[in-house]
Amino acid sequence: MANNIVIFGIRLTINPVAFTIPIGNGWDVYWYGIIIAFGFLLAVVYAMKNASRFGLNTDRILDVTLITVPVAILCARAYYVIFDGEKLEGIGDFFGFGNSSGFSGLAIYGGVIGAFVIGPIACKLRKVNIPDMLDIASIGFIIGQGVGRWGNFVNQEAYGTFTNSSWWGMESTRTIREMGEGLVHPCFLYESLWCIAGFFLLNHFSKKRRFGGQIFLMYCAWYGFGRAFIELLRTDSLMIGNIRVSSLLSFIICITAVVLLAVFMRKLKEKAAVVEYDTVFAEEETESQMSETENNKDITDEQNIYTEETESNEDN
């Protein structure tokens, strides 16, 4: 069913189904899946093009990706089922077998958590440096998230409360059905723009990173901070009582990442200060040794001159 959408005064009609493959009664392919796949492809392309800068091998990156992605998708589904309270009749419902909804209902945080849990294990198996892999994967994730949020736009989900504005916000067939008439916050757009800005930021700092894992921590701080506030606007948050799960988790991740960044940067400065002290001390020691050598040479020269004069006097 097509959505009639108005966003910032622009009117659009979008069908969530991109096309139908003539298999059985027809297999619908949704724009949401295509957009997510495109975001994933951009992440992989970025990793392949920049692997050498992170000291990584492209073949091993692909190996780790092939192990991690399927597990991340299952974790995204599990996270949604747990916190959304979706009732399942059996394991078949988890995978979407035997019902019209298919494999639907995913939570991005579940996928991120799953990826960063199974990813290091895959790195160990393929002998890939974990901090370096986390750094390049973080930039890939933020690309995928920035693009993937437009899948939410097509489905008209991940929207927020009323903006109480006559222009700012969006309205669609779905939002009117679920919320009533009025423009709502396009939270998908806020998060997409936040992630795209984060990509340029992380890519810039990745060219002069100070230690392995720095970009990963910056990703956690940047994405966690933005998501924590954007989530407060949404009307479809996964909840535990009155607590928005994703918002709370985002705040925790952001604060933890900032603290760890501060700790590691402080250690780097302390290490640099020690090295500088050792270098200065070594230079002073070298200068002292050179001075002592020159003094010894002067003494030796004086002794040689004295010896030569003595021998000359004896011959006379």
Nearest to 15, CA basis, from 27, 31, 35: 31
**Interval 177-207: pLDDT, tens:** 999 999 999 999 999 999 999 999 999 999 9
Per-residue pLDDT in tens (0 to 9) along the chain, 316 residues: 688 999 999 999 999 888 888 876 677 788 988 998 899 899 999 999 999 999 999 999 999 999 998 898 888 888 877 776 566 666 666 665 555 455 566 777 788 788 888 989 999 999 999 999 999 999 998 999 999 999 999 989 889 999 999 999 999 999 999 999 999 999 999 999 999 999 999 999 999 999 999 999 999 999 999 999 999 999 888 788 888 988 999 999 999 999 999 999 999 888 887 766 566 555 555 555 656 566 555 555 555 555 555 555 555 4
**Interval 63-119: pLDDT, tens:** 999 999 889 888 888 887 777 656 666 666 666 555 545 556 677 778 878 888 898
pTM, to two decimals:
0.78
